[in-house]
């Protein structure tokens, strides 16, 4: 591990992922929660040193690959592995209406809209149905936390739903 401390990206800026969509979806299958990962996550969370090291590793990896800003509630599995928190409006449910005709972001015209990227990557993997899911409002207390630990511990199961009747509240 490098000695350089992580530099959190403060402002949301659209980032084109460095990891191809096919590899990302393959990794998704390998990292899907199971009792083994759940046990591992519980062990890591039991030690503050292990948790810090693990969170730093996650931050460095996801920052390099996806421009991750560590919102702690990762949407990547259902957004074509393009981070929606790179959208200057942090839109988790799809693009705004200001996308340029060439697919550029209205705020950063030299960058592509993350949702244009997300749609193309999801389409290339036959996963556009993912984009219809309704994302609940983000929990701002989670910034900086490891979303992999949350994911393996099953805390992310309410982040999105296909059932609008369920209501937008995150539950308990």
Partner 1 sequence: MSLRERLAAGGFAVTAEISPPRGAGLQQITATAALLKDWVDAVNVTDNQGSHVRLASWAGSLAVIGAGLEPVMQMTCRDRNRIALQSDLLGACALGIRNVLVMTGDHPKFGDHPGAKPVFDLDSIQLLWTLRTMRDQHRLLSGRRLDPAPDCFLGAVENPFAPPAAFRAERLGKKVAAGAEFVQTQFVFDVPAFARWMGQVRDLGLPGRCAILPGVGAVRSRRALDFMRDQVPGVYVPDDVYRRLAGVPPDRAAAEGITLAAETVKQLAAIPGVAGVHLLVAGNEQAVPAILDQAGLTAARGSDGC
Q: Which residues bind partner 1 (CB under 8 A)?
A: 88-103, 106-107, 113, 115-116, 119-120, 123, 128, 131-132, 134-137, 140, 164, 167-169, 171
- Please state whether 104 falls in left (phi above 0), alpha (psi between -120 and 50) or beta: beta
Please report how close the Cβ of residue 59 comes to partner 1 at its closest, in angstroms: 23
Rounded CA separation 155/153 (Å): 6
Is residue 114 within 8 A of residue 87, CB to CB? The reply is: yes
Q: Kindly report the three-state secondary structure assignment for every residue of 37-80.
A: HHHHHHHHHHCHHHHHHHHHHHHHHHHHHHCCCCCCCCCHHHCC
Please report how close the Cβ of residue 167 comes to partner 1 at its closest, in angstroms: 5
Looking at beta carbons only, is 5 or 97 nearer to partner 1? 97
Looking at beta carbons only, is 10 or 29 nearer to partner 1? 10
Looking at beta carbons only, is 35 or 165 nearer to partner 1? 165
Please report how close the Cβ of residue 136 comes to partner 1 at its closest, in angstroms: 7
Looking at beta carbons only, is 37 or 108 nearer to partner 1? 108
Is residue 128 within 8 A of residue 122, CB to CB? The reply is: yes
Please report how close the Cβ of residue 124 comes to partner 1 at its closest, in angstroms: 13
């Amino acid at each position: 591990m490098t000695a350089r401390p992580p530099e959190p990206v403060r402002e949301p800026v659209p980032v084109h992922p460095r990891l191809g969509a096919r590899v990302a979806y393959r990794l998704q299958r390998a990292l899907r929660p199971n009792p083994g990962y759940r046990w591992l996550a519980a062990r890591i969370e039991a030690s503050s040193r292990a948790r810090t090291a693990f969170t730093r590793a996650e931050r460095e990896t996801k920052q390099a690959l996806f421009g991750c800003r560590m919102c702690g509630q990762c949407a990547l599995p259902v957004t074509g592995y393009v981070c929606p928190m790179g959208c200057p409006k942090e839109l988790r449910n799809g693009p705004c209406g200001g996308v340029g005709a060439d697919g550029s972001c209205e705020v950063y015209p030299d960058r592509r809209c993350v949702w244009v990227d997300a749609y193309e990557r999801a389409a290339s993997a036959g996963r556009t149905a993912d984009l219809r899911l309704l994302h609940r409002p983000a929990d701002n207390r989670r910034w900086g936390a490891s979303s992999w630990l949350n994911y393996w511990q099953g805390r992310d199961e309410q982040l999105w739903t296909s059932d609008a009747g369920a209501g937008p509240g995150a539950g308990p």
